[in-house]
Amino acid sequence: MHIDRYERLFLYAAVALLVVFMGALAVSSFAFGIRVPTAYEQVDPRTVATPPSPWGLPEAERMRELSPGRYEVYVLAQMWQFTPRTIIVPKGSQVTFYVTSRDIQHGFKIANTNVNMMALPGEVGVLSATFDTPGTYNVICHEYCGALHHTMFGQIVVEESGAER
Ligand code: CUA
């Protein structure tokens, strides 16, 4: 079958581009560890706020220190608040957020970090961030969730005191 020279070059170029894109995908996935956020696990939104569910614990017990400087925190979203609303960690902490909703769709975004996900009833979203710079990081609900959506926020307070650990 005769294929025109330019058409053949074009076919080669298209295949070469595909190889480049697949390579970029492999590098970002394996070398840089970039992952698309997906549901970590399923929960029942009707019982998720009741012990022994970790989202049913008192606010003060929602955060656990797993090892020095490494925390996990269970954040529950509902109309129109996050609990715990304020999370306090020392500078340099690596915090993993387990986020779900007990009612409708919310969002969970921490300003100046890569933490940005939906909070969905029945699904648990998980993302981590390392807080090297002391200060207050605002947490906002960025999915419209009704009349008081704009009042739904929280904060991460990163304290200087982490230095002497
Ligand atoms: Cu919750 Cu908007």
- Lookup: tokens for 14: 């298209």
For ligand 1, residues with CB inside 6 Å are: 80, 106, 141, 143-145, 149, 152
Q: What pTM, to 2 d.p., does this model score?
A: 0.76
98 neighbors 76 (Cβ within 8 angstroms) = no
Indicate whether 165 pLDDT > 60: no
CA of residue 140 to ligand 1 center, whole Å:
8
- Please, which residues bridge with residue 116 across strands? 109
CA distance 157 to 88: 5
Nearest atom of ligand 1 to the alpha carbon of 80? 1
Pairing of strands 63-67, 70-78: antiparallel
Give 89-105 pLDDT, tens digit per residue.
999 999 999 999 999 99
Question: Which of the four pLDDT bands, split at 50, 70 and 90, describes residue 78?
Answer: very high
Give 122-149 pLDDT, tens digit per residue.
999 999 999 999 999 999 999 999 999 9
> Which residue puts its alpha carbon closest to atom 1 of ligand 1?
106
